[in-house]
Amino acid sequence: MSENKSHNLLLGYLLWIFGFMGAHRFYYGRQISGTIWFFTAGLFLIGWIVDLFLIPGMDRAADIRYRSGAKDYSVAWILLTFLGWLGIHRFYLGKWITGLIYLCTGGLFLIGVLYDYWTLNGQVDEINMTGG
């Protein structure tokens, strides 16, 4: 078992339920395939079903790639997934100005939310690296 447990396997499986949209792939830092899943309904649901068996490996890889710290990846991803258009995840990360912008503009017209799906792991990792 990895000492650095940055991602949560149970959350990975919960996001897999929405996996035909790529949520679990974005969570584990696989933005390109997450985007493909988003636009192809999980590779026409076939890739989505295969991912049921691949999630444990994705979880281990994310634990190796990203460092745990003051900010929890799972909390940030839950906030982004369900309240991203309100910017709540940005407030959680201490990004008050962009949080307010997202709050007033519907996640910067949802384009900002899509941007955060691509970059959230890196944002959390950077904060954890600096001890924030």
- 68-89 burial, b if ≥16 CB within 10 A, otherwise e? bbebbbbebbbbbbebbbbbbb
Local confidence band at 132 (pLDDT 50, 70, 90 cut-offs)? confident
Local confidence band at 1 (pLDDT 50, 70, 90 cut-offs)? very low
Q: How far is the CA of 118 from the CAs of 39, 50, 121, in angstroms?
A: 14, 22, 8
The model's pTM: 0.90
Mean pLDDT of 82-89: 96
Residues 6+ positions from 126 with CB-CB distance below 8 Å: none
pLDDT at 3 over 80: no
* 42-73 pLDDT per residue, tens: 999 999 999 999 999 999 999 999 999 999 99
